[in-house]
Amino acid sequence: MLRAFDGKEPRIAESAFVSEAAYIVGDVEIGEHSNVWPGAVIRADFGSIRIGNRVSIEDNCVIHSGSPFTFAGNVMIGDRVVIGHGAVVNCKSIGDSVLVGMSATLLHDAEIGNFCIIGAGCLVGEGVRIPDKSVVYGVPGRIVGPPTEKQLWWIEEAYKGYAELTRKYKAQGL
């Protein structure tokens, strides 16, 4: 379901797939070949949300704009990002080629660099900056090193599987 808020409507690339069971409201932009799965909520009411190309937002994710104390705040998500099932994203930015694990939480004003992995269930605290090529695990999230070759495969290839799945869903009119 797509909804306007304060006169701003979501803008979705023609090649993107958005499940009819997702809820997207306000100043949201979703790039080419991206996909949003059932139960996802993308709510841009305190600021804009920009989602790049080839981004997968899995089932039951929440992406919300805003920042503490001022409420206003934008969210920028780069290209080739996979946001795992049930993740909560209220951060300032996620770079390119990032994997956010299932049920991870990225709090206000956090910034995630390029080629990062945020582990399942991880909590990235308010205002934390994660540099490029970092693997982050735990509560609170701690950098445990750079991604291994196996982990880099997930970063560089995971979105491709969703691209094929998106084509199938669109072909079947779902």
Question: For residue 107, what pLDDT is reported?
Answer: 96
- Whether the link from the prior residue into 140 is cis, omega within 30° of 0, is yes
Phi then psi for residue 158, to 5 deg, are -55, -40
84: closest CA among 64, 110, 104?
Answer: 104
pLDDT of 6 reads 95
Write down all domains in the chain, each with its CATH number in brackets.
2-171 (2.160.10.10)
Q: Is 100 left (phi over 0), alpha (psi -120 to 50) or beta?
A: beta
pLDDT recorded at residue 160: 84
Instruction: Spell out the per-residue pLDDT of the chain, length 174, in tens.
Output: 999 999 999 999 999 999 999 999 999 999 999 999 999 999 999 999 999 999 999 999 999 998 877 778 899 999 999 999 999 999 999 999 999 999 999 999 999 999 999 999 999 999 999 999 999 999 999 999 999 999 988 888 888 888 889 889 988 988
Contact of 91 with 65, CB cutoff 8 Å: no
DSSP string, 70-107: TB---EEE-SSEEE-TT-EE--SEE-SSEEEPTT-EE-
Q: Can you spell out the DSSP letters for the chain? A: -EE-BTTB--EE-TT-EE-TT-EEEEEEEE-TT-EE-TT-EEEEEEEEEEE-SS-EE-TT-EEE--BTTTB---EEE-SSEEE-TT-EE--SEE-SSEEEPTT-EE-TT-EE-SS-EE-TT-EEPTT-EE-SS-EEETTTTEEEESPPHHHHHHHHHHHHHHHHHHHHHHHTT-
Tracing tokens 């445990």 back to the chain, one arrives at 144
3 phi/psi in degrees, rounded to 5: -135, 140
Please report the pLDDT score of residue 18 as a whole number: 97
Please tell me the predicted confidence (pLDDT) of residue 155.
84
What is the phi/psi pair of residue 119, to 5°?
A: -65, 160
The pLDDT score that the predictor gives to residue 19 is 96
pLDDT reported for residue 173: 86
